[in-house]
Chain A
Amino acid sequence: MYAYNEFDQKFVRQRVSQFREQIEKRLNGSLSEEEFRTLRLMNGLYLQLHAYMLRIAIPYGSLNSDQMRKFAYIADRWDKGYGHFTTRQNIQFNWPKLENVADILDALADVNMHAIQTSGNCVRNVTADHFSGASIDEIEDPRPSAELLRQWSTDHPQFQYLPRKFKIAITGSPNDRAVVKAHDIGLRILRNQQGEVGYQVIIGGGLGRSPFVGHTIREFLPKADLLPYIEAILQVYNLGGRRDNKYKARIKILVHETGIEEITRRVEENFKLQKSEFQKPSDKLIAAIEKRFLAPDFEQSTYENFEAERSESPQFDIFVKRNIADHRRENYAIVTVSLKNIGQTPGDATSEQMRVLADIAQRFSHDELRISHEQNIILPHVQKRHLPEVYKLLQAADLASANIGLISDIIACPGMDYCALATARSIPVAKDISRRFDELKLEHEIGDIKLKISGCINACGHHHLGHIGILGLEKGGIENYQITLGGAADLTMAIGKRAGRGFSAEELLPAIERLIGAYLDLRTSREEVFLSSLKRLGHSPFIEALYPKKESQNVA
């Protein structure tokens, strides 16, 4: 884990006292609501439907047990005993009061955390592969690069008032688990032919109203040039991005309207100027940061008990199959803890669960935890010999759902249960779907599938990237849900296609059932997952299932 130095500490404390003053200024009239709004958003504070909401950064999704315990403390002391983990590796508290926010931020600073730039038109929390530092396929741990970007972007004097928000994601593996092509800037660590490590730089990806797959602007950027190159992109965007229309203000629209060739030219030209501004080469900075990432002291161990438990307990065996991924150390495993219990709100954890997870991480995962963009929690370094015990502890805390990658492992944004921008609810939809397929006992039969739900076109729930995507809208004064098919979030990133007219809340669940029914009928075998059937057969048989003939005759 990255440990703050004196400067980081001082900076974060200063920022808290600055925000305390800003709240004061809003209350005494020195700042208008419009001005205060901009400033509070830069400090992660939203005003939602029922209350304020505080979004706290979990930089590149990594945290330790003390930090997790602090979330539990905040949840109990100033909120309602739970927190919501988001698709951008943040945690949100839904019920803080304005007068307590600065105290919450001070409590966070005690454990090297903050809420800086988790909202607002600035560079947001940099996200990274949630298996960083543990996965078997990694070229290099992306977190030191992500930490460098965090430092660079924090309070960057030019880029606090961008045309719109700016999201950066980075992955260190060929298997993209950070959805880098759906970000304003996506970075992929790779090796060139000389064997040097650098980045593929992708820009202009994004979801929302106009979804785009990002364009590669640089096939190979040497590590030493990271900051000047990113600075060049941001400066071109800050000066050129549209400010006349909120929906056209993201860099993806600038790239789309100007053309990637012209943007590349501007960035490369600007990059030459920036190189003289950045006197410290980025690779040296990253190397210095690496020293502050305390790598775990991996142990040697055998794990006969693990194999024995697998053959004895079918339940444990299913958990292992669904929730465990290969670790770079053969005697270790990566455990994904599902926050998607049947019928519960995706991504929510109670303060009690947070404490249990913190304890498990401290005892069994070298004190490390990760948050995935799929709203689950990762224990990245668990010895296989400890897995049976970890499983029991998870079970006792209601955290042992063996459903990773299944239909109940739904990504869902808060939707109109909380979000002021929402056009419909998404949480009840997620709960209904997971309950229904659990009742039908079909979950494991259906197998791997990604279902993602957003409560409005902003697409925080990544619905475009779901094999099945659900978008909540309003139609004629009631909630209405549009289904998209065929999205994908990995390196083959694809944007789902709209299936047809939307469904009312009551029609939606039966429609999803018909869709899944069609897949089960049409697949060649259990090995052919939903997305493969969709690719093999095209969308039409699935659309027919969604809109059966009888109904279309009625309409005609």
Chain B
Amino acid sequence: MARAFVTKIVTANDLLVGDAVYLTSSNLWSRDFHEAKICLNEDEATRLLDSTNFHQHHIVGAYLADVAARDGRPVELLHFREKFRTKGPSNYFHGKQEFNNQQGVA
């Protein structure tokens, strides 16, 4: 039996700054994974990932990441590595967590 498909989003690193970015449904890259477009099946995921071939002047190394979604929006990245990428390192308060806090986002 085929393994159940886990909802996915497309993530990459920004070419200029280097931080984690996520592909949105308007085909733009957001620094906030909550804004990412979710893929509900394998085909959709492959197609969305392939579409990033045209984004090479903005991003580096696109790949798929597993998420939990609610109401068509991603609510949580599943792998601990991906969770770290949405925050920053644990030894200093640097990276995305600095800005999340400024915006009052948890």
- Direct contact, A vs B (beta carbon within 8 Å): yes
Residues of A within 8 A of B (CB): 26-27, 29, 32-33, 47-52, 80, 82, 94-95, 97-99, 345, 416-418, 422, 425, 427-428, 431, 474, 477-479
Q: Are A417 and B84 in contact (CB under 8 A)?
A: yes
**Which B residues are CB-close (under 8 A) to A82?**
92
The total of interchain contacts (Cβ-Cβ below 8 angstroms) comes to: 70
Q: Are A417 and B61 in contact (CB under 8 A)?
A: no
Pairs A–B under 8 Å by Cβ, sample size 22:
A27-B15, A29-B56, A29-B57, A33-B61, A47-B18, A47-B60, A50-B95, A50-B96, A51-B19, A51-B95, A80-B94, A82-B92, A94-B94, A97-B18, A98-B15, A98-B18, A416-B80, A417-B84, A417-B91, A422-B81, A425-B90, A427-B89
Q: Are A33 and B60 in contact (CB under 8 A)?
A: yes
B1-49: which have CB < 8 Å to A? Answer: 13, 15-20
- Taking the closest CB of chain B, its distance from the CB of A51, in whole angstroms, is 4
Known: A97-B18, A477-B80. 4 other contacts (CB 8 A): A97-B16, A98-B17, A431-B91, A474-B80
Q: How far is the CA of A94 from the CA of B88 in the complex (A)?
A: 11
Q: Are B92 and A80 in contact (CB under 8 A)?
A: yes
Q: Are A479 and B57 in contact (CB under 8 A)?
A: no
Q: Which of B81, B88, B91 contacts A427 (CB 8 A)?
A: B91
B84-106: which have CB < 8 Å to A? Answer: 84-85, 88-92, 94-96
Q: How far is the CA of A47 from the CA of B20 in the complex (A)?
A: 11
Which of A32, A47, A477 gathers most chain B CB within 10 Å?
A47
Q: How far is the CA of A422 from the CA of B80 in the complex (A)?
A: 11
Q: Which of B19, B56, B92 contacts A33 (CB 8 A)?
A: B56
B70 in the interface (beta carbon within 8 A): no
Q: Are B18 and A51 in contact (CB under 8 A)?
A: yes
- Taking the closest CB of chain B, its distance from the CB of A438, in whole angstroms, is 17
Name the CB-closest residue of A to B17: A97
Interface size class of B (residues with CB under 8 A): 20 to 34
**Which B residues are CB-close (under 8 A) to A417?**
84, 89-91
Q: Which of B79, B88, B90 contacts A477 (CB 8 A)?
A: B79
**Which B residues are CB-close (under 8 A) to A479?**
80
Q: How far is the CA of A368 from the CA of B94 in the complex (A)?
A: 32
Residues of B within 8 A of A (CB): 13, 15-20, 56-57, 60-61, 78-81, 84-85, 88-92, 94-96
Q: Which of A50, A94, A95, A428 contacts B20 (CB 8 A)?
A: A50
- Taking the closest CB of chain B, its distance from the CB of A525, in whole angstroms, is 37
Q: How far is the CA of A35 from the CA of B80 in the complex (A)?
A: 30
- Taking the closest CB of chain A, its distance from the CB of B13, in whole angstroms, is 6
Which of B79, B91, B92 gathers most chain A CB within 10 Å?
B91
Which of A99, A417, A431 gathers most chain B CB within 10 Å?
A417
Q: Are B85 and A99 in contact (CB under 8 A)?
A: no
**Which B residues are CB-close (under 8 A) to A431?**
91
**Which A residues are CB-close (under 8 A) to B13?**
47
Q: How far is the CA of A528 from the CA of B61 in the complex (A)?
A: 51
Q: How far is the CA of A508 from the CA of B15 in the complex (A)?
A: 37
- Taking the closest CB of chain B, its distance from the CB of A82, in whole angstroms, is 8
Q: How far is the CA of A158 from the CA of B30 in the complex (A)?
A: 42
- Taking the closest CB of chain B, its distance from the CB of A340, in whole angstroms, is 13
**Which A residues are CB-close (under 8 A) to B85?**
49-50
Q: How far is the CA of A479 from the CA of B80 in the complex (A)?
A: 8
- Taking the closest CB of chain B, its distance from the CB of A339, in whole angstroms, is 13
Q: Which of A94, A95, A478 contacts B80 (CB 8 A)?
A: A478
Q: How far is the CA of A477 from the CA of B80 in the complex (A)?
A: 7
Q: Which of B78, B79, B94 contacts A95 (CB 8 A)?
A: B94
Q: Assuming A95-B94, A427-B90, A428-B90, is B17 touching A49 (CB within 8 A)? A: no
Q: Are B56 and A32 in contact (CB under 8 A)?
A: yes
Q: Are B84 and A416 in contact (CB under 8 A)?
A: yes
Name the CB-closest residue of A to B94: A80
Q: How far is the CA of A51 from the CA of B17 in the complex (A)?
A: 6
Which of B16, B57, B89 gathers most chain A CB within 10 Å?
B89
Q: Assuming A33-B56, A477-B80, A479-B80, is B18 touching A52 (CB within 8 A)? A: yes
Q: How far is the CA of A83 from the CA of B82 in the complex (A)?
A: 25
**Which A residues are CB-close (under 8 A) to B16?**
97-99
Name the CB-closest residue of B to A95: B94
**Which A residues are CB-close (under 8 A) to B17?**
51, 97-98
Q: How far is the CA of A179 from the CA of B88 in the complex (A)?
A: 33
**Which A residues are CB-close (under 8 A) to B81?**
49, 416, 422
